[in-house]
Amino acid sequence: MDLKPAPQSIRIRALSLPLDLGVYHHFLPPPPATADAEERFAHSLTAVGPADVGEALVAEDAVGNGAGLALLTTEGVAPGQAKALVAVQLPQRRRGVGSALLTALEDAARRQGRATLQCYIRLGEGTLPFALANGWRETRREVVQGAAGDIGPMPTPGVGVSVETRVGLSLSRDEAESVYGAYADAGPAFAACVPLEDFIGRITQERPFNQVAVAWQGGRCVGMAWGQDAEPDAVFNEFTGIRPAFAGRGIATLLKWRLAHAARQAGRPHLFTCNSPGNAPILAINRRLGYRPRFELAALEKNLG
C-alpha cells in the first residue's frame, strides 16, 4: 500500500486537556440508540475514555473543519507504553490524513518517553492494511464472544474449594491482594501491564456492576472471574484465571457460571468475553455456557525506537 502525504490544506494541532466531550463525540460518536448490545459493546472495546486521554491531536482543513482526531492514553499499559486511537472523517479518508495524524502522535509519544504504542482494531473494517502499512505489527487476536440465553445449571464445585461472588467494593485489602495474586499467576503478561494498585483500584471501583467470582482454598484465592458493566444491559467478563496448580478441576467453569448468574440477577442479560482463538479449553467452557463467536479483534503494536 502506498502511503499518501497529508494534503497541504490539512494542519495538525494539539488540543487542550481535559478533552472537550463535544470534540470527542464529533469524531467518535456513540452508537445510535437503536444499536444492539453487540454493536454497543464493540464500540466500547476500541474507544478511549475522554478522561483517560493524555495527548489529543486534531487535523483540520483550511477553514478549520475537523478532518481527524488522534488520541494517546496510558490507561492499562506497562511503563514506557501507550495506547493510540486515530479516527478520520469519512470524506477525508485515503488522503493521507490518518498517516499524518499517526506520525504526529508517534512524535508526541516519543517526547513523553514512550517506547511502544498499542491499539486494538476490529477486523473486517478495512483498518488492518492501513495500520500494517504504517509500520504496526499484529501481536495477537482475540475472539469476542457473546451470550444472551440460558447458562444451564450450576456446575459442581471443585473438591476443597469454596466459591463466592463478591462486589469488588466489599473485598478487604488482603482479599484483593490475594485475588491479584491469582490474576498474576494465571496471566503474567496481563499483570505486567496492570500493577497491583491499579488492579485493586479497578476491581474495587464503584460501578453499576463490578463483581468478581472468587475460588478460595484456606483463605487464599486460587481462581477468579471478573466482570464489569459494559452497557446498561450487559456485562463484560474481562478476565478469568486459575492458578496453574488448580487448573483442570472445573473451577473456571464454575467461576464463569457464577459471574454470569450474578449478571442475570442484576438485570443484565447480555454477556461478553474475549479470548485467544487458540485457547481451546476456555473456548469450550464458553460454548458450554452459551457463548458464541461474534467478531475478532487484532492487537497491534509499534516500536518507536
| Domain boundary assignment for the chain | 11-145, 150-289
Residue type, position 37, single letter: A
Per-residue confidence (pLDDT) for residue 207, from 0 to 100: 93
Instruction: At 116, list the grid cell.
Output: 511502544
49 SS3 class: coil
**Can you give the pLDDT at residue 2?**
39
Which residues have a Cβ under 8 Å from the Cβ of 252 and sit 6 or more positions away? 223, 225, 240, 242, 281, 282, 285
pLDDT in tens, the chain (305 residues): 334 455 567 899 999 998 888 888 888 888 888 888 888 888 887 777 777 788 999 999 888 888 899 999 887 777 888 999 998 988 888 888 988 999 999 999 999 999 999 998 899 888 899 889 889 999 999 999 999 988 888 888 777 899 999 999 999 999 999 999 999 999 998 888 888 999 999 999 999 999 999 999 999 999 999 999 988 899 999 999 999 999 989 999 999 999 999 999 999 999 999 999 999 999 999 999 999 999 999 999 999 98
11-145 homologous superfamily? Gcn5-related N-acetyltransferase (GNAT) (3.40.630.30)
Same fold for the pair 11-145 and 150-289: yes
What value does the CA radius of gyration of the chain take, rounded to a whole number of Å?
A: 21
Q: How much is the pLDDT for 241? A: 93
- Per-residue CA distances from 167 to 56, 216, 251 (Å): 35, 16, 19
Per-residue pLDDT at 1:
35
Instruction: Let me know: does 41 contact 272? Beta carbons within 8 Å.
Output: yes
Residue 9: all three cell numbers together: 490544506
Q: Which residue has the cell 497491583?
A: 196
The CATH number of 150-289 is which of 3.40.630.30, 3.40.50.970, 3.40.50.150, 3.40.190.290?
3.40.630.30
Phi, psi of 74 (to 5 degrees): -110, 10
User: 46 and 87 in contact (C-beta within 8 Å)?
Assistant: no
Per-residue model confidence as pLDDT tens digits over 23-79 = 888 888 888 888 888 888 888 877 777 777 889 999 998 888 888 999 998 877 778
Cell of 33: 440508540
Give the model confidence (pLDDT) of 240-270 as tens digits: 999 999 998 999 999 999 999 999 999 999 9
Q: Is the peptide bond before 18 cis (omega within 30 degrees of 0)?
A: yes
